[in-house]
Amino acid sequence: MKFFIGDTHFFHENLLGDNDFAPRLFDTVEEMNQQIITSWNAVVKEKDTVYHVGDVAMHPKYEKGNQEILEQILQLNGKIVFIKGNHDSRAFLNFLAANDPMMPDGTPKFEFHDVGAIVKFNHHQYYMTHYPMLLGTTLNIRNLHGHIHHYSVPIAEDINVGVDAPERDFLPDKLPFGTPLSENMIDIIAEAKAKEVAKLK
């Protein structure tokens, strides 16, 4: 199974609290970090792949905090494909690559893409990027992105998969904070968002 998430921002204390940009109702980053790990592992199994569309963490010690970030990531189930976000430094991604714990079958747990990646499922092609793409009218192509947190691009083909994304409200049941979105959830969100965007025309 494929899952999608972005903008986890582990250790980013400035996001804590009730705000319009990235509401995170936790008292501490430790509480937020643990909630992401718990929610992630509740749905992702070791054989699954999670596509992370960028901005993994914002540690107050910058590169000196890489080990602490790694300790959080090592608790996450599944293979993780990282698409570089604007807050993901080259040094950080190199650090992850150098400390890849590997999967039980001996293959890498981590994979990296600087700009984006493409996957196909459920009769659609998905361009996964950190920043939203302005695709225009497309046939069976969607953009899964992050970066804009609790905001949404008014384009049906652009789906924000970040942990703070308003698109998550299209799902029939509210997900615990930090839950990656499954392939089937993407289809539900896409259909609902298309109907909402059509109302704007």
Between 135 and 61, residue with greater pLDDT: 61
Q: Cα dist. 101→8, 110, 178 in Å?
A: 20, 8, 22
SS3 (DSSP) at 68: helix
State yes or no: pLDDT of 137 exceeds 80: no
Q: ∠ CA(180), CA(182), CA(186), 5° rounding?
A: 110
Q: From 86, 77, 10, select the one nearest 49 (Cα to Cα).
A: 77
* More confident: 138 or 101: 101
pLDDT of residue 74: 98
Q: pTM for the whole thing? A: 0.96
